[in-house]
C-alpha cells in the first residue's frame, strides 16, 4: 500500500519574501506538500480573479517540488441569499484558481446549518453545481466538518448528493472538540465519517471547547486573531535570541 502524502498547513504571511521562505522551509522539512488558504493573498476581489496575484503565487509554487491543496478563503457564505450570486462567483473563482495553481483539492466549510429551508437548499445547490464544475477542472471539492456542528450533517450532505467529486474533509481536531462538547463517541464518529472522507486534517488539541465560538462568533474570531499574532510574535522573538 502506497504511503499517503503528508501536507502541512501553510502559515499566514505578510510580504512577498515570506511566501518563498515558507515554501522553502516546507520543502526542506520533507513534507510532500502544503495546504494554502486562498485568503492569504488578494487572489479574488468582488468575486473575480486578480490574475497578477495568481500568476505571482504560481511562479513561486513552481520553484519547489511540492504538491498543493487549497482551503477556501474567509468569508464565503453560500447561505447568504442577498449576495448569493456573488458568493457563488467567489467559489467558482476559487476553483479556477485551484486549476491554475495545480491544487488538487479545495476544502470548503460546512459552517452552521440554518433553520431557513431556503438557505439550506441554496447552500446545497451551490455546492452541487460547484462539484460538477470542479470536476471539469480536475479539482476535488471537499466539505469540512466544524467544531460547532454535528458531524452527521456533513456526512448526510455528502451522502445525499452522491457526487463522485464532492467528498468530505474530515477534520479530526474539530471532531474531537465536537464529540467532547456534545457528549458522543469520538471513535464512533470517526467510523461514521470514514466512508465519505477523501481529505484529512489533523491537529492536536485538548478537546476543550470554547463556548464563545457559539455565543459570539465575532468576538471569538477577534480573540483568535489576537492570540495568533501573540504566538507569532513570541516565535519571532524566540528565533532572534
Q: Do 74 and 108 belong to one domain?
A: yes
Q: Do 118 and 68 belong to one domain?
A: yes
- Identify which of 147, 123, 130 has the alpha carbon closest to the alpha carbon of residue 220: 147
Q: Do 191 and 232 belong to one domain?
A: no
Q: In this predicted structure, what is the pLDDT of residue 241?
A: 29
Q: In this predicted structure, what is the pLDDT of residue 237?
A: 32
Residue 21 in any domain: the answer is: yes
Instruction: Report phi then psi at 45, rounded to 5.
Output: -140, 125
Residue 1 in any domain: the answer is: no
Q: Do 193 and 221 belong to one domain?
A: no
Tell me the longest C-alpha to C-alpha distance in the chain.
56
238: containing domain: 210-241
User: Which pTM does this prediction carry?
Assistant: 0.88
- Residues facing residue 10 across a β-bridge: none
Q: Do 226 and 159 belong to one domain?
A: no
Q: In this predicted structure, what is the pLDDT of residue 157?
A: 98
Number of structural domains in the chain: 2
Residue 2 in any domain: the answer is: no
Residue 86 in any domain: the answer is: yes
Q: Do 236 and 222 belong to one domain?
A: yes
Each of the 241 residues of the chain gets a pLDDT tens digit; together they read: 678 899 999 998 877 779 999 999 999 999 999 999 999 999 999 999 999 999 999 999 999 999 999 999 988 999 999 999 999 999 999 999 999 999 999 999 999 899 999 999 999 999 999 999 999 999 999 999 998 899 999 999 999 999 999 999 999 999 999 999 889 999 999 999 999 999 999 988 888 877 776 667 677 767 666 655 444 333 333 333 2
Q: In this predicted structure, what is the pLDDT of residue 218?
A: 72
Q: In this predicted structure, what is the pLDDT of residue 222?
A: 76
Q: Do 171 and 144 belong to one domain?
A: yes
Q: Do 134 and 49 belong to one domain?
A: yes
Q: What is the DSSP string of the chain?
A: -PPPP-EEEPPP--SHHHHHHHHHHHHHTT-SEEEEETTTTT-EETTEE-HHHHHHHHHHHTTSS-EEEEEPPTT--TT-STTHHHHHHHHHHHHHHHHHTTEEEEEEE--PPPS-HHHHHHHHHHHHHHHHHHHHTT-EEEEEP-TTS-HHHHHHHHHHH--TTEEEEEEHHHHHHHHHHHT--HHHHHHHHGGGEEEEE-----S---THHHH-HHHHHHHHHHHHHHHHHHHHHHHH-
Q: Do 45 and 140 belong to one domain?
A: yes
Residue 180 in any domain: the answer is: yes
Sign of CA dihedral 228, 41, 114, 201: negative
Specify the residue for cell string 480536475: 138
Q: In this predicted structure, what is the pLDDT of residue 240?
A: 32
Q: Do 11 and 130 belong to one domain?
A: yes
Q: Do 238 and 130 belong to one domain?
A: no
- Return all residues near 218 (Cβ < 8 A) that are at least 6 apart: none
CATH value at residue 33: 3.20.20.150
Q: Do 223 and 181 belong to one domain?
A: no
Q: How many CB atoms lie within 10 A of CB 75?
A: 10
Amino acid at each position: 500500500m502506497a504511503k499517503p502524502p503528508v501536507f502541512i498547513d501553510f502559515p499566514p504571511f505578510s510580504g512577498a519574501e515570506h511566501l518563498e521562505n515558507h515554501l522553502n522551509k516546507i520543502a526542506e522539512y520533507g513534507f510532500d506538500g502544503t495546504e494554502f488558504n486562498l485568503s492569504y493573498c488578494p487572489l479574488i476581489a468582488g468575486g473575480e480573479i486578480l490574475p497578477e496575484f495568481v500568476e505571482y503565487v504560481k511562479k513561486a509554487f513552481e520553484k519547489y517540488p511540492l504538491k498543493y491543496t487549497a482551503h477556501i478563503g474567509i468569508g464565503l457564505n453560500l447561505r447568504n441569499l442577498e449576495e448569493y450570486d456573488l458568493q457563488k462567483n467567489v467559489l467558482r473563482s476559487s476553483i479556477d484558481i485551484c486549476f491554475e495553481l495545480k491544487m488538487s483539492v479545495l476544502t470548503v466549510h460546512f459552517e452552521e446549518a440554518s433553520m431557513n429551508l431556503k438557505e439550506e437548499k441554496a447552500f446545497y445547490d451551490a455546492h452541487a453545481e460547484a462539484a460538477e464544475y470542479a470536476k471539469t477542472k480536475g479539482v476535488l471539492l471537499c466539505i469540512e466538518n466544524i467544531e460547532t456542528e454535528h458531524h452527521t450533517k456533513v456526512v448526510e450532505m455528502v451522502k445525499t448528493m452522491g457526487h463522485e467529486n464532492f467528498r468530505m474533509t474530515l477534520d479530526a481536531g474539530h471532531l474531537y472538540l465536537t464529540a467532547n462538547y456534545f457528549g458522543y463517541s469520538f471513535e464512533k464518529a470517526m467510523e461514521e465519517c470514514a466512508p465519505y472522507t477523501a481529505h484529512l486534517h489533523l491537529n492536536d488539541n485538548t478537546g476543550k471547547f470554547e463556548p464563545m465560538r457559539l455565543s459570539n462568533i465575532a468576538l471569538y474570531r477577534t480573540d483568535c486573531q489576537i492570540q495568533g499574532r501573540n504566538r507569532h510574535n513570541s516565535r519571532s522573538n524566540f528565533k532572534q535570541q
